[in-house]
Structure 1
């Protein structure tokens, strides 16, 4: 049976926009429950300025527990080399580094141009000790909230430059605003895979702003992608992408692949109560999970 790997990003991308601070013990408990449901790879937190994203100020404590449990592979998002080193010092061995294709989004997100962010990525790669794995997230690969649709040539150029720095990095194309369409997703992955056949691991990060999330996941799968980001309960949204709603919901992606006969290793029945719990966290404004909605968990405030 064909299988895919789901990367649960709720503990990072899902939690980062929630205003009331989620107690560290609540985050840890949810990560443990998600692991028990079969999610064995997670973006558990981000090492970032607590002034910019106070919700993730407990990154070191959350990561320490995940490492101590040893049951899931923790992935950590870092915005620059400085915080990448902080993550490494805390024990992180799988770093996810985001570079926006759009200059406007890059300046808003990390206060640097894509060229400057790429140079910082090069410093991080050069300074990282042996055994640290890298993922490069190309944000706004399909659309920018400030500049509109992204040109595929710009994505391919930035991707090529990032691969010169770290040829064995996992590559993730990110639909940051959720405006990508299945045809656009299929075309960009086909172009990228043709241009850079040496890439061994491709991933898709989808949002569900216009209800295209699962369709875009399927389009990427049909082009050979086997790693997919999703968030429990459809939580999330980029704080520097106005109008972007939540990530494609983990439970929707699990159901999609289950209906297609594709193995995820995730127990949907065990996942559903967690979707309800995630959607009900104080400060969650809404959930775009259709499966959670069926269970009465989704809400719009």
Structure 2
């Protein structure tokens, strides 16, 4: 039954990160044909924005070493967007050579994670991103900026809201088109999320350019999403079947499951364009190839009963 709540958007864009953020944390290499079929199935379920892969050096994320091969076999359609993560100018060169039109960069709200993830301070990472964004925009590319550890850091603890907003503002000032606020270790709660979005908007970043990216470590991802929607956010990152984590933050468990998100939004009468049953079938298919059950509660509930 659909029962709307006041104060929610009419439509939400689901930014699917499973093929990149989900599969990058797998211990075994997923074959490129499986990845391609996974993305094709996600698109068939109604997802229009699917982050496909990353042009990070294969030494650091070997699970995504097949980025060029994958992009070469993906079916292209004006209805689908396939952003890729680009860590530096070398990654941008590869993206441009492969006809990519949308990229993302990945920054940190904390110094410790910036050093662990990028081997740079925050200032040094921003200096690295500047020519990436400048060149990408000159080539007509859409650029998204991720800022991680927005609710807490496993080494630094609580992260001040003003610190997050400052890094977010600096990333957007580089010329980025959109921003994703990432609770990388899943420690945030709804009040914190509401306050954080207010702080970021107060720093001059419009709501229509802000997305949220929640991990479900403490079971708060859906509650935090609802808080973000009530604050005016209309873009939500999620990962089919709840795949994912972070290879540089051991306490980061799976992302918000796309099925769990869509089930909630369907019940609230918020449009997404996503068929939750087709999506659950896709996640069951992928879980079978990974050799383990999906952690998504909706996937489990919709799975055929023996």
- Does TM, normalized by the shorter one, top 0.5? yes
How much does 1:275 deviate? Answer: 1.7
How much does 1:11 deviate? Answer: 0.3
Equivalent residue, structure 2, for 1:170: 178
Verify the 8 A CA contact 1:19 1:283 in the aligned structure 2.
no
Equivalent residue, structure 2, for 1:217: 225
Equivalent residue, structure 1, for 2:143: 134
1:41-95 per-residue CA deviation (whole Å, 9 max, x = no partner) reads 0111111111111110111122233363554101111222221222122111111
Verify the 8 A CA contact 1:234 1:287 in the aligned structure 2.
yes
TM-score calculated relative to the size of structure 2: 0.91
Equivalent residue, structure 2, for 1:194: 202
Aligned positions, number: 295
Equivalent residue, structure 1, for 2:5: none
Equivalent residue, structure 2, for 1:62: 70
Task: Provide the aligned C-alpha RMSD in A.
Answer: 1.7
Verify the 8 A CA contact 2:208 2:233 in the aligned structure 1.
no
How much does 1:127 deviate? Answer: 2.0
Q: Distance in 1 between matches of 2:261 and 2:206?
A: 27
Does residue 288 (structure 1) correspond to residue 295 (structure 2)? The answer is yes
Change in CA separation of 1:145 and 1:283 when aligned onto 2, cut-off 3 Å: farther
Q: Distance in 1 between matches of 2:172 and 2:102?
A: 17
1:135-158 per-residue CA deviation (whole Å, 9 max, x = no partner) reads 111111111121111111111111
Does residue 81 (structure 1) correspond to residue 113 (structure 2)? The answer is no
Equivalent residue, structure 1, for 2:157: 148
1:26-50 per-residue CA deviation (whole Å, 9 max, x = no partner) reads 1101111110100010111111111
Equivalent residue, structure 1, for 2:24: 16
Q: Distance in 1 between matches of 2:97 and 2:199?
A: 37
Residue in structure 1 matching 2:235, options 227, 231, 237 = 227
Q: Distance in 1 between matches of 2:282 and 2:34?
A: 12
Does residue 272 (structure 1) correspond to residue 280 (structure 2)? The answer is yes
How much does 1:255 deviate? Answer: 0.5
Verify the 8 A CA contact 2:241 2:257 in the aligned structure 1.
yes
Change in CA separation of 1:239 and 1:58 when aligned onto 2, cut-off 3 Å: same
Q: Distance in 2 between matches of 1:40 and 1:225?
A: 18
Q: Distance in 2 between matches of 1:178 and 1:278?
A: 24
Residue in structure 2 matching 1:204, options 187, 190, 212 = 212
How much does 1:242 deviate? Answer: 1.4
Does residue 96 (structure 1) correspond to residue 92 (structure 2)? The answer is no
Q: Distance in 2 between matches of 1:144 and 1:57?
A: 28
Deviating more after overlay: 80-89 vs 226-235: 80-89
Q: Distance in 1 between matches of 2:169 and 2:146?
A: 13
Unaligned runs of 5+ in 1: none
Q: Distance in 2 between matches of 1:221 and 1:81?
A: 34
1:214-249 per-residue CA deviation (whole Å, 9 max, x = no partner) reads 111111111111111100110000111111110000
Change in CA separation of 1:112 and 1:225 when aligned onto 2, cut-off 3 Å: same
Equivalent residue, structure 2, for 1:248: 256
Q: Distance in 2 between matches of 1:230 and 1:198?
A: 21
Instruction: Name the SS for the 2:76 alignment partner.
Output: helix
